[in-house]
């Protein structure tokens, strides 16, 4: 290295080299000058030696300054390292090769609770659990072999012997390349981290097992984590296929805009939102959801979703129970008042037309008495069907009592007269069907809103109710007049037919007492009776018939015996006849009498007054049925003519 290059390395060396150069020149030139100036060579040597000593002192001084500078730098580095060690939150411990603690920083004092005075000079095994002392020996054995121990998790003990989770890093301290004089131990307290990790693991397990769908969503709205239930709610079989999906995958249309424009601003402002939305499944179907969205640190979201389809169905069912009639499915009185109120208020304010029908099912008691309450329920169901077929889906139809119905038209342009005509036409079409054993009849009242006078819907309801009862009274008066004409006709018929009772027009009915004709009815009263008589088995076979019955139905005795009474009954009358026959056989009633139709051999209907009673032989246990059939075809013909005349007069 040249002198110039050396001078570029360090300014103080440059100065020393310059001094050395000058001294060298002087040492070589001064003897010559001395001999010349002083004339003595010895004096020159003395001066040269002095200058050489001066040069050596200068050189030693330069080296000392160099060493001093190096020591000063090392001191600064050590001071910096000592500050770092001291302020570290981790425990940094220096130990000898024998495991004796030689240094103990502030972090060690905080983690383990020992002061520096208490820790220095103690063996490092002081920090290990008694059951893990062998673990300390094993770790330091690796260090003495020159190996590092990196992030080894174990349990140490604090001063008060409480356990603490730590992560250890142990590095050997070397002097030279091979000699190991000790070790540096860095212990980090990971108790809180471990507890947090365990808590997160438990939460992740709970999240996975949850029946509710849970997802973590980033600030852009994309799923970054979700459980199986979340994917299942939206119809996805593979949860992995949902990762990265955005809001558009789960919501559509107006609901998507509602979430982005209304719900999410509330989440960012308040930190959370909970409510109901309409979700979209993978197949495109929509369903009701209850969701909870909470914001978390870092801009993400936690979303919890629950499919509430079944709950909505249950709520709808409860509403139907409270607002609808259980039997017919129509609105009940509560439902009527709830849904008709807005229409009534609007029509009243806007002076729009609004009409109401009040319908009563006539003869409900007679249907229950003749056919049982089960058939009475069928009559109500059929009435509801007729009403539904007569009005629009938007009209409000209700059953507000046992046999009372109401209809409120929501169409302000509808005509009440046309509505009534349509209802009567559908009723007549129903009654014309042959499978029905009885006919339905309605009494109909009509009321129209009077905007200036009526202040509440109940007034309109009351007006329609009064109108219905007025029609029912008119029907009753017409029925009384008809009955009066029938009694007059019966009286006239009695004069023509001696078998009738002149006092009340009721046909004479012979006793069903077995003593009248013995064990097997013979040629006495049974054969000579003017009305048809028969003994019938419980299964309907003709056991004994008289001549009048054969004449009435147009069959010979042999032909009748080859049939059953059920085969000769009119189809419309068969069901009620069998019903009442069962009641007689059970002993519920002693006998029964009704007007029924049989089919003549020639095919036309024969009206008879049919009376049935039980023949019960207590000795043999034989049970038979006694029929008496009075021909009333002439009377029925006169009744029909009188009815037609009455209708003609009324028109």
Give per-residue pLDDT as tens, 291-349.
999 988 777 889 999 999 988 888 887 776 778 888 999 999 888 888 888 888 888 88
If we measure between CA atoms, which residue out of 230, 231, 360, 247 comes closest to residue 305?
230
Write the CA distances from 269 to 266, 296, 305, 380, integer angstroms: 5, 12, 21, 57
* 151 φψ region: left (φ > 0), alpha (ψ -120 to 50), beta (else): left
What was the pLDDT predicted at 554? 92
CA dihedral sign, ordered 606, 434, 436, 439: negative
Q: What is the Cα–Cα distance from 624 to 519, expressed in whole angstroms?
A: 11
DSSP 510-533: ----GGGT-SS--TTHHHH-SSEE
Q: Which residue has the tokens 């009455």?
A: 646
SS3 247: helix
- Name 42's Cβ contacts closer than 8 Å, sequence gap at least 6: none
Please check the confidence at residue 1 and state whether its pLDDT lies above 90. Answer: no
Per-residue pLDDT reduced to its tens digit, 449-480: 887 778 888 888 888 888 888 888 888 777 77
Could you name the CATH architecture of 88-194? Answer: 2-Layer Sandwich (3.30)
Output the pLDDT for position 506. 41
Quickly list DSSP for 604-642.
Answer: -EEEEEEEEEEEE-TTT--EEEEEEEEE-HHHHHHHHHH
Q: How confident is the model at residue 521 (pLDDT cuts 50, 70, 90)?
A: very low
State the pLDDT at residue 390.
93
CATH of 514-631, one of 3.40.50.300, 3.40.50.1980, 3.30.450.20, 3.40.50.2300: 3.30.450.20
DSSP secondary structure string for all residues of 23-91: HHHHHHHHHHHHHHHTS-HHHHHHHHHHHHHHHHHHHHHHHHHHHHHHHHHHHHHHHHHHHHHHH-SSE
Q: Is the pLDDT of residue 14 over 90?
A: no
Closest CA to 514 of 623, 629, 631, 630: 623
How far is the CA of 594 from the CAs of 414, 570, 591, 632, in angstroms?
A: 44, 14, 10, 11
pLDDT of residue 469: 87
Q: In terms of Cα–Cα distance, which of 300, 298, 303, 294 is closest to 266?
A: 294
Model pLDDT for residues 70-113, shown as the tens digit of each residue: 666 555 655 666 666 777 889 999 998 888 998 999 889 999 99
**436 band by pLDDT with thresholds 50, 70 and 90:** confident
Strands of 282-411 (E only): list them: 286-295, 301-307, 355-361, 396-399, 404-408
Retrieve residue 314's tokens: 């249950």
Burial code (b: 16+ CB inside 10 Å, e: under 16) for 476-507 equals eeeeeeeeebbeebbeebbeebeebeeeebeb
Residue burial 338-371, b: 16+ Cβ < 10 Å; e: rest: eebeebbeebbeeeeebbbbbbbbbebeebbebb
The predicted pLDDT at position 358 comes to 93
Report pTM.
0.38
44 vs 26: CA distance, rounded Å: 11
Query: 626 is written with which tokens?
Result: 């006694």
DSSP readout, 160-204? T--EEEEEEEEEEEEETTTEEEEEEEEEEE-HHHHHHHHHHHHHH
Query: What pLDDT, on the 0 to 100 scale, is given for residue 498?
Result: 47
End-to-end CA separation in angstroms for the chain: 145
State yes or no: pLDDT of 197 exceeds 50. yes
Contacts of residue 253, defined as CB under 8 A and 6 or more positions apart, other chains included, come to none
Nearest to 250 by CA among 222, 269, 210: 222
CATH number for 344-478 (one of 3.90.730.10, 3.30.70.270, 3.60.15.10, 3.30.360.10): it is: 3.30.70.270
Most confident segment among 98-102, 126-130, 620-624: 98-102
Which pLDDT value is given to residue 46?
Answer: 63
Calculate the average pLDDT of the chain: 79
Q: Which of 630, 627, 632 is nearest to 533 (CA)?
A: 627
* Tens of pLDDT, residues 527-555: 777 889 998 988 888 988 998 899 999 99
Phi, psi of 362 (to 5 degrees): -75, 145
Which is more confident, 140 or 382? 382
Q: Hey, what are 74's tokens?
A: 């090392």
> Residue 434 pLDDT > 80, yes or no?
no
Q: What is the pLDDT of residue 503?
A: 41
Residue 180: the pLDDT is 84
**Of 24, 20, 21, 40, nearest in space to 32 by CA:** 40
pLDDT at 488: 53
* DSSP string covering 249-263: GT--HHHHHHIIIII
For residue 514, give both structure tokens.
């077995």
d(CA 164, CA 110): 12
- Which DSSP category does 463 fall into? H
Residue 558 has pLDDT above 70, yes or no: yes
| Least confident span in 137-151, 198-212, 629-643 | 198-212
Please say if the pLDDT value at position 37 is more than 60: no
Structure tokens that stand for 109 in this block: 């004092």
Asked if residue 108 lies in contact with residue 166, where contact means CB atoms within 8 angstroms, the answer is no
Dist. CA 134–CA 130, nearest whole Å: 9
Query: Which DSSP symbol is given to 363?
Result: T
Q: Which CATH superfamily is domain 210-307 in?
A: PAS domain (3.30.450.20)
Rounded distance, CA 342 to CA 547, Å?
71
Q: What is the largest CA-CA distance in the chain?
A: 204
Q: Cα 284 to the chain's mean position, in Å?
A: 18
The yes-or-no verdict on residue 63 having pLDDT over 60 is: yes
Higher pLDDT, 649 or 468: 468
């Amino acid at each position: 290295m040249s002198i110039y290059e050396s001078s570029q390395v360090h300014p103080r060396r440059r100065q020393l080299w310059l001094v050395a150069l000058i001294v060298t020149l002087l040492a070589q030139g001064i003897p010559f000058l001395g001999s010349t100036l002083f004339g003595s060579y010895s004096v020159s040597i003395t001066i040269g030696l002095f200058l050489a000593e001066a040069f050596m002192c200068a050189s030693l001084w330069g080296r000392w300054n160099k060493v001093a500078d190096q020591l000063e730098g090392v001191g600064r580095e050590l001071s910096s390292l000592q500050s770092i060690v001291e302020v570290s939150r981790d425990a940094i411990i220096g130990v000898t090769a024998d495991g004796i603690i030689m240094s103990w920083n502030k972090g060690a004092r905080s983690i383990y609770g020992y002061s520096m005075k208490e820790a220095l000079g103690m063996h490092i095994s002081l920090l290990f659990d008694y059951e893990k002392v062998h673990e300390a020996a094993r770790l330091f054995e690796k260090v003495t072999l020159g190996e590092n121990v990196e992030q080894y998790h174990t349990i140490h003990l604090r001063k008060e012997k409480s356990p603490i989770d730590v992560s250890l890093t142990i590095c050997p301290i070397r002097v030279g390349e091979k000699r190991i004089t000790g070790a540096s131990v860095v212990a980090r307290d990971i108790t809180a981290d471990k507890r947090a990790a365990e808590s997160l693991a438990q939460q992740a397990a709970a999240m996975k097992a949850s029946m509710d769908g849970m997802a973590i969503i980033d600030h852009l709205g994309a799923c970054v984590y979700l459980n199986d239930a979340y994917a299942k709610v939206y119809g996805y079989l593979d949860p992995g296929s949902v990762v990265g999906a955005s809001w558009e995958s789960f919501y559509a249309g107006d609901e998507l805009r509602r979430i982005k424009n209304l719900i999410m601003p509330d989440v960012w402002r308040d930190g959370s939102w909970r409510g109901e939305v309409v979700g979209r499944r993978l197949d495109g179907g929509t369903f009701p959801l209850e969701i909870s969205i909470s914001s978390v640190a870092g801009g993400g979201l936690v979303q919890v979703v629950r499919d509430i389809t079944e709950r909505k169905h249950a709520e709808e069912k409860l509403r139907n129970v409270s607002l609808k009639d259980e039997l017919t499915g129509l609105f009940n009185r509560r439902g009527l008042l709830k849904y008709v109120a807005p229409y009534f208020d609007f029509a009243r304010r806007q002076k729009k037309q609004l009409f109401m029908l009040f319908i009563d099912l006539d003869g409900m008691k007679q249907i229950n008495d003749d056919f049982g309450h089960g058939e009475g329920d069928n009559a109500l169901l059929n009435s509801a069907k007729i009403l539904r077929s007569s009005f629009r889906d938007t009209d409000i139809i209700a059953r507000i009592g046992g046999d009372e119905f109401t209809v409120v038209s929501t169409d302000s342009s509808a005509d009440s007269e046309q509505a009534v005509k349509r209802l009567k036409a559908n009723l007549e079409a129903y009654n014309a069907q042959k499978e029905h054993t009885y006919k339905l009849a309605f009494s109909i009242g009509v009321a129209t809103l009077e905007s200036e006078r009526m202040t509440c819907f109940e007034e309109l309801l009351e007006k329609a109710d009064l109108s219905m009862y007025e029609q029912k009274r008119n029907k009753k008066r017409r029925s009384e007049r008809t009955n009066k004409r029938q009694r007059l006709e019966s009286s006239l018929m009695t004069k023509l037919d001696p078998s009738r009772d002149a006092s009340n027009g009721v046909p004479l009915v012979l006793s069903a007492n077995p003593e009248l004709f013995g064990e097997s009815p013979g040629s006495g009263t049974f054969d000579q009776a003017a009305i048809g008589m028969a003994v019938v088995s419980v299964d309907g076979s003709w056991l004994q018939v008289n001549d009048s019955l054969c004449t009435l139905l147009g069959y010979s005795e042999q032909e009748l015996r080859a049939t059953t009474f059920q085969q000769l009954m009119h189809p419309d009358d068969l069901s009620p006849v069998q019903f009442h026959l069962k009641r007689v056989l059970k002993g519920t009633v002693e006998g029964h009498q009704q007007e029924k139709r049989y089919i003549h051999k020639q095919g036309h209907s024969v009206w008879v007054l049919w009376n049935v009673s039980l023949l019960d032989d207590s000795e043999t246990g034989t049970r038979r049925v006694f029929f008496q059939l009075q021909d009333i075809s002439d009377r029925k013909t006169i009744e029909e003519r009188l009815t037609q005349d009455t209708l003609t007069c009324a028109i």
